[in-house]
Amino acid sequence: MSLYREVDAFRVDDERRRVLEKVVNDIEVRIRINGGMDQRFTASPQALEEFATGYLLGEGLVDSVDDILSIEISDNIIDAEIESGDLDIRRELVMGSDCFGGWRQRVEMVEPVDSDFRVRADDIFRAFKRMVNSAVVWRMTGGTHVAALVTGDEFRVFEDVSRHVAVDKVIGSGAMDGVNFGESFIVYSGRMPADMLIKVVRAGVPIIASNAAPTSSGYDAAQRTGLTMLGFVRGKRFNIYSHPERII
């Protein structure tokens, strides 16, 4: 299934006329975990295995890819089998992560990111430019978010209608390839609430940079978990909101 499709539209300029426009393709995706826990998302149809892997890691349902026993995908339904362990406790964290203030109350349950990795400001700007240039569907439709994981010379980029899912996909792709998250950084489009930043911290990525703004919950989470958070990356400037020692 394509990331976009063409639809009829009417453009009004000097006169109303029929045109063929591209729109981003969004579908409902279900993740069923151990045959019980059932989560539903709106997402783009590509890279669903990467999405599932990143979601399981980012939500703390597994500690590593070794805890994922299998992922099977049929149409838009993902069936994941994981090491059960304390799944009931972890399920409560997932269910509460999107509620107002949910991660403010639970951030102390997240292991802080531990990395001495540092990045030059110019590397951030170059990665951001490369991410934007890779965002083909965004340029066609304006309807996606984009995220990229940068590890040395390796560059993984995904677009999705959901900013959370775009981040899940880059984390999942990196985990499936065994990258060193502690020597990586993420650039991405979109605002930065706490529940999204926690995904990054759980993966062990020490730096995230966005062209948008943090929320107050995101600011609190970044400060408390050791994450270096950059916002308003535009042109040749950005703001560093937490742990600036990693930017040189």
Bin 246: left if φ > 0, else alpha if -120 < ψ < 50, else beta.
alpha
What pTM did the predictor assign? Answer: 0.91
Distance of CA 174 to the CA centre of its chain: 12
Give the per-residue pLDDT at 101. Answer: 45
Residue 157: burial class (beta carbons within 10 Å; 0-12, 13-18, 19+): buried
Kindly state the average pLDDT of the residues 111-123. Answer: 96
User: CB within 8 A of 23, min separation 6: which ones?
Assistant: 4, 5, 6, 7, 141, 143
User: CB within 8 A of 200, min separation 6: which ones?
Assistant: 58, 113, 167, 171, 186, 208, 227
Dist. CA 67–CA 166, nearest whole Å: 22
- Residue 1: pLDDT above 90? no
The one-letter amino acid at 60: G
From 2.40.110.20, 3.40.50.720, 3.40.140.10, 3.30.70.20, which CATH number describes the 121-242 domain? Answer: 3.40.140.10
Each residue of 169-221: pLDDT tens digit? Answer: 999 999 999 999 999 999 999 999 998 899 999 999 999 999 999 999 899 99
Q: 125 with 150: CB under 8 angstroms?
A: no
User: CB within 8 A of 7, min separation 6: which ones?
Assistant: 20, 21, 22, 23
The one-letter amino acid at 215: T
Helix (H, G, I), strand (E, B) or coil at 25: coil
Give the per-residue pLDDT at 74. Answer: 95
Q: Is 236 annotated as a binding residue?
A: yes
Q: Is 172 annotated as a binding residue?
A: no
Give the per-residue pLDDT at 55. Answer: 94
Comparing 184 with 11, which gets the higher pLDDT? 184
Dist. CA 114–CA 152, nearest whole Å: 18
Q: Is 234 annotated as a binding residue?
A: yes
Catalytic residues: 99
Each residue of 25-78: pLDDT tens digit? Answer: 999 999 999 988 888 999 999 999 999 999 999 988 899 999 999 999 998 999
Kindly state the average pLDDT of the residues 11-15. Answer: 84
Q: Is 129 annotated as a binding residue?
A: no
Element (H, E) at 115: none
